[in-house]
Structure 1
Amino acid sequence: MKVIIDLHAAKASQNGDEHSGARDGFLEWADSNIDETVAVIEFLAARYGVRPNLAAIALMNEPRAPGVTLDALTKYYKAAYDAIRKYTNAYVILSARLGPADPKELFSLASTMNRVAIDVHYYNLFSDSFSGMTVQQNIDFVNNQRASDLGSLTSANGPLVLVGEWTAEFARNDASMEDYQRFAKAQLDVYGRATFGWAYWAYNCDRNHWSLKWMIENNFIQL
């Protein structure tokens, strides 16, 4: 088994969400937090870098634009990458910014690094644009838009691409088992093209369609 270590919550919060440690909804991570955040990454690299099952270290989960600027994020990613390379040649994962930002904005930085992957998260949720979609429209969106987005990030000489989060849940309260199966299969087919692979939201959690274990055991997903 290979392990990816992910810094999910940076001090001052990189996105304002509770999963980044924010209790008040404020995003306050900025240049002044870079050194402290790099120190955390260096601690993790020093502790786990020699482990043969370490696949990668992900530098920050879901930084949100425009609160986290590209300039600050680039400075942090470069410094954290350099810190990791003191201890290990494991892959380094650069998370794309949420919000009004293009994952390709990281290409220039990634071109100066070795063994890196860009992490994108794909959900047919968390946006009004999905609320009125039929089951088939959700599936078509994956087969067309998501496939196009993923293809635009994939190049022979560019960084690898990780679909680091996805789920078979979508904004349909009336979806049948077959609907979930079709939606999950479409995502597996498309995200299976990601050059660094994919990761379901969680292996085991209390929300059934977010739990890969439950989805497999109940024949919603076949791997």
Structure 2
Amino acid sequence: MAAFRPPEADQVFRILHVSTGNVCRSPITERLTRLAVVERLGSDAGLVVESAGTWGHVGAPMEAHAAQVLGEFGADTDGFTGRELLDEHVIRADLVLTATRDHRAQVISMGHSAGLRTFTLKEFTRLVRVIDMGKLPDAREPGGLVIRARALSRAAAALRGWLAAPTAEADEVQDPYGAPIPYFRSVGEEIRAALDPVVTAITGVPGTPGE
């Protein structure tokens, strides 16, 4: 049975980023996604970007090094509190992007018809790179960004069985929790590089060099 979707869900596209504690990787990914979309479009344009953790530190602030890295990228860190992944988060999400394959498996195991809309971040990046962007709806049309994002998600799901990762690790973002700031920076750069083609595909607007 398909998950219930309220009527207002048709007006937005919800992206849910999932990691373990929701204090390092998923907050970085959430806030960098928001930043990239606003930089390219001037607004969120109907995209709602959220995050949660499979063992989320409920109510906890973002890890200090994660906040520092986001600040260095120019992203907003205000108002963040950790959340544990709940059924309602998965039900409402149009696209779930996880840090690792294990997180992906945990999301899918929750049910709610999540299998076709749940990917690791790097898996989704790999898939969208081979999708013909010219065949996607124009994001500049009224409501076009939401329609385009849904079409992109469906196209990626259709490709999943045809384009395997070169290695299992290629689809993973490792956990920097407890590591020194240089490792957090490397993870931040890794996430930002993976997000660039995703945001380009969703918005239809390429990033600027060095973004």
Same structural fold, with TM-score higher than 0.5 when normalized by the shorter chain: no
TM-score by length of 2: 0.28
Report the TM-score when normalising by structure 1. 0.27
Compare the two structures and name the one with the higher helix fraction: 2
Higher RCO (CA-CA < 8 Å; seq separation 6+): 2
